[in-house]
Amino acid sequence: MARGNSRAATPSPPSGSSHTQAKKRAHATAAASSPKNKGLNVEPSASMLLNHSQQTTDEWYKSVRTKKGYASYVKSRKKWLAEWVAEDRLDDQESEESNFAGVFDSLTSQTLTALRLLTAYKCDHQGRAFATAEGLRSTFKHYFERYVPV
């Protein structure tokens, strides 16, 4: 037996071979049978895409931990506002206590003012960073989208 550089070469199948075509068919079949594509033999409508997008967002980006954190944050911010109002810190005549009662339970003309007060208190008065403002924004955005009737 001669030693040298001669090795038995295994030829690769040509690109149009049945092996490559079988792989492509298997991949296409797997994609078509995925839960997202089940029963969809036509292009999806805009409403189907938007609905699926919302479901994906809920599943991927709103974990149980995030939802619990948001709920805790909303609860503590409602408490802060109630204490703020009870201490009579709303010194201008337009912002009376009655205008802020339940301001986070429904969208009213005072909701924006209350959120601005809260953000200014946390960021300006307490010296918190941008992350606090962004946390407030995302928390209340989620809260108002999910739980507050418009």
* End-to-end Cα separation, the chain, in angstroms: 86
Q: What is the pLDDT of residue 66?
A: 83
Alpha-carbon gap, residue 143 to 139, rounded angstroms: 6
pTM of the entire predicted model: 0.54
Q: What is the pLDDT of residue 33?
A: 40
Mean pLDDT by 10 residues, the chain (150 residues): 50 52 49 49 83 77 81 91 81 58 83 90 92 92 81
Q: What is the pLDDT of residue 57?
A: 72
* Burial annotation 68-80 (CB, 10 A radius, 16+ → b, else e): eebeebbeebeee
Alpha-carbon gap, residue 77 to 83, rounded angstroms: 10
